[in-house]
Amino acid sequence: MTARILDGKALAAKIQNELADEIIEFIENNAVDPTLCAVLVGEDPASEIYIRNKRKACDKVGMESRLHRLPSDVSQEEMLKLITRLNKDNEVHGILVQLPLPPQIDTTRILCAVSPHKDVDAFHPENVGRLVQGRPRFLPCTPYGIQELLIREGIETAGRHAVVVGRSDIVGKPLANMLLQHGRGADCTVTVCHSRTADLGAITRQADILIAAVGRPQMITAEMVKPGATVIDVGINRTAAGVVGDVDFASVREVAGAITPVPGGVGPLTITMLLKNTLRAAAEAVG
């Protein structure tokens, strides 16, 4: 058996086409341009690429984008002042703080300073709390993309055992919460594994849906996967052999029922869901 490839890049393009139509209608009805503002500190090459891709995606769907560049030695006070100005700017609907931030900046304090109504990454404690309660304002972008992929690819989730490998605040924890909730792309029985999990393979082999989000190249091997399982690879690891995921794709695709590739799987959906959140923020702002 060779797994069906879950093409996140193609799905992202489809959703962006839908978004483009929704944005045209929104602008016609409200005379407001949905606007995403990114804050970039320093000149980290990976961050530069991420920001460039996000701005291209904004252009594709007809969304306004702004970029505030700050030097790598910017003070926390200056950065907080900028966030305050953006919070008060009625023409800005979504604020994206590109991570990582330099060591003199308290990342948690900066993310908490972003208005929860403009927090399109869904990092603010208020938005995290709303997610846990099952009444989210925004869904975190990578988990949102994964859930949308499961829904649109017809992957049954209700009653299935989902195993999430990784407990980060960005992917593992919010995704586990989303899969636990009632509704489409959810109603799973969820297990979260991490660096202290004993006999990881014994647990991952129970998964009907296995999500790898740990940042360790090709750590999930074929022996760790239940035959026919759906495998979602969130990892993006740069190695001497090129970019690889957290899953050993070549071997696992011979066991799994469906699998995401790296690149071209979850990554394009993350940016797309950021745009969906920004449109929602703009709709909330106009009432």
Residues recognised as catalytic: 54, 98, 121
Question: Which residues, including other chains, have CB under 8 Å from residue 39's CB and lie 6 or more apart?
Answer: 68, 70, 79, 82, 83, 86, 95, 96, 97, 98
Which H or E element spans position 275?
Answer: helix 267-286
Question: Which residues, including other chains, have CB under 8 Å from residue 217's CB and lie 6 or more apart?
Answer: 235, 237, 239, 244, 245, 246
What is 4-60 written as a DSSP string?
EE--HHHHHHHHHHHHHHHHHHHHHHHS---EEEEEEES--HHHHHHHHHHHHHHHH
